[in-house]
Amino acid sequence: MQKEEIIKKVKTLNLPKDSYVVFGSCPLAIAGIREAQDIDLLVSKETFLRLRKLGWKELIKGSNDKPLTNDVFEIHDNWNFSSYNPTLERLLSNATLVQDIPFASLEEVKKWKAASGRPKDLVDVELIDKYFQAKRD
pLDDT, tens digit, 9 for 90 and up, residues 100-118: 999 999 999 999 999 999 9
Q: Residue 137: pLDDT band by 50, 70, 90 thresholds?
A: confident
Q: Which CATH class is domain 3-121?
A: alpha beta
- The proportion of the chain whose per-residue pLDDT surpasses 70, expressed as a percent, equals 100
Span 5-33, average pLDDT:
97
Residue 112: exposed, middle, or buried by beta-carbon count in 10 A (0-12, 13-18, 19+)?
buried
- pTM higher than 0.85 for the full model? yes
Find, among 123, 8, 137, the residue nearest to 73 by Cα: 8
pLDDT value of position 35: 97
pLDDT, tens digit, 9 for 90 and up, residues 44-69: 999 999 999 999 999 998 877 899 99
The 8-class DSSP code of residue 33 comes to S
